[in-house]
Structure 1
Amino acid sequence: MDVHVLSNQELERFKRELLDEIRSMLSQSTDESTAKQWLRSAEVRKMLGISPGTLQNLRVNGTLPYRKIGGSMFYARQDIERMMKGGCANG
């Protein structure tokens, strides 16, 4: 397994590029009034183009709030959009 150490600058650049792509995808999504208010994990991963592990990290570190109902996790669309705009989704 190759290991490549990234500098802080490279990580920051990757973060900016990733957020720009996600913002672009969100802006192309359907009109908010017709869009679902709550999304399941799979829908969020598909919408953001992220892995299950990345979504878990967003939950664990408090970046993206969620509600667990039964065995399913749900995410508010407005929290996802707020996170992508760079604001804290927790308020």
Structure 2
Amino acid sequence: MVEVVYFAWVRERIGLPRERVETRAATVSELVAELIGREERYAAAFADLSALRVALDQELSDFAAPLAGVREVAFFPPMTGG
């Protein structure tokens, strides 16, 4: 079980700020594939992975990263300066 957190337009497309997900995924990419397979709203949110960043337990990571021991996965658009 992993806590998945969505920020900004990712949250808007999925319609949830966070959810607990039962997963067999070994990597972030596999988790994304599982989520996309759930419903169209996930497919819309994850349609362009180049427009997304991921953090594992609040540490910036990448989509090839393993999920073993991870408690929280957060998806968000790249940060902009200002």
TM-score range, shorter chain: 0.3 to 0.5
Q: Which has the higher helix share?
A: 1
| Greater relative contact order structure (CA < 8 Å, 6+ sep) | 2
